[in-house]
Amino acid sequence: MPDLLLMALFTEPMDLPTRAISLLWVLPICLSVAVVYKAVKVEPFRPDVFARETGLLFVTIVGFLIVIALALLLVAYFVW
Amino acid sequence: MAQYVSQDKVGLMPPKPAKNDNALYFIGLLAWLIPGAGHWLLGQRQRAAVIFVTISTTFLLGLALGSIEMIDPQNAKAWFCAQILCGFWTVLVTLLQNHSITINDMFGRGVNIGQVYAGVAGLLNLLCILDALYRAQVSVTERGGP
């Protein structure tokens, strides 16, 4: 039974609604980018330094995405 | 003396042993096949574990979002080029697919964010492959072997 559930997880796509809440799916991918980039860059690799650097990069990426979203919102507001 | 000066001017390096080149190829191939394996071979175990877990989780999350049928070498070639960089994950998924039907026919919709997740996972693995090769090359030039 658990193997069937596992198969079902990967054989049918999730139903993602096209609502604003779906924008939160950007967060896991930002976290992945931050973790892998810092795993490659941090020298020497120490868990505390790695965690701090990763958190900082994640916040920076999300912050810039928010700034870009606000800028695009302003453009849309003034153009239309 | 004149010969050494001449070699320095044109930047000639002494030829490297062939076994070092083979080791670099092996590290590159393994780093592609299993995310983080290149760093693992170089003794960077913690780094390798973080890379493997993160890239695999991103790829599997993409599969959960879009199903295994979203890896589509026929109709989404550009995405597939990024996704194939994930190595054995992509090969495994391609083997498990039902090739007689496209995702559009099966679910009435095209690609979604799952494809982006799997593609980004592949591109992140490319970064790790290049980093592993760079570290191996530095190791070769500094110590004479990876």
Which value does ipTM take for this structure?
0.87
B5 pLDDT band, cuts 50/70/90, is very low
B145 pLDDT band, cuts 50/70/90, is low
Tell me the chain B residues in contact with residue A35 when contact means C-beta distances shorter than 8 Å: 50, 54
Whether the pLDDT of residue B46 is over 80: the answer is yes
Rounded distance between C-alpha atoms, residue A63 and residue B113, angstroms: 21
**Predicted local distance difference test score (pLDDT) of residue B2:** 43
Q: What are B's interface residues with A at a Cβ cutoff of 8 A?
A: 44, 46-47, 50-51, 54-55, 57-58, 60-61, 63-70, 103, 107, 109, 112-114, 116-117, 120-121, 124, 127-128, 131
Whether the pLDDT of residue B122 is over 90: the answer is yes
Q: Given an 8 Å threshold on Cβ–Cβ distance, is B68 in contact with A10? A: yes
More confident residue, B13 or A53: A53
Contact B133, B30 (CB under 8 A): no
The one-character DSSP state at B20 is H
B84 pLDDT band, cuts 50/70/90, is very high
B66 pLDDT band, cuts 50/70/90, is confident
Would you list the domain boundaries of chain A? 22-79
Q: Given an 8 Å threshold on Cβ–Cβ distance, is A29 in contact with B114? A: no
Q: Given an 8 Å threshold on Cβ–Cβ distance, is A45 in contact with B103? A: no
DSSP string, A8-21: HHHHS-----SSGG
Tell me the pLDDT of chain B averaged across its residues.
82
Extended strands (E) in B1-143? none
Tell me the chain B residues in contact with residue A32 when contact means C-beta distances shorter than 8 Å: 54-55, 57-58, 120-121, 124
Q: Given an 8 Å threshold on Cβ–Cβ distance, is B67 in contact with A28? A: no
Share of chain A above pLDDT 70, in %: 91
**Predicted local distance difference test score (pLDDT) of residue B102:** 67
Which of A14, A80, A8, A39 is closest to B35 using CA atoms? Answer: A39
> What average pLDDT does range B116-125 have in this prediction?
95
> What average pLDDT does range A12-18 have in this prediction?
79
pTM over 0.90: no
More confident residue, B62 or B142: B62
The one-character DSSP state at B17 is P
Secondary-structure percent of chain B, ordered helix, strand, coil, rounded to 5: 75, 0, 25
Whether the pLDDT of residue A49 is over 90: the answer is yes
Q: Given an 8 Å threshold on Cβ–Cβ distance, is A12 in contact with B107? A: yes
A15 pLDDT band, cuts 50/70/90, is confident
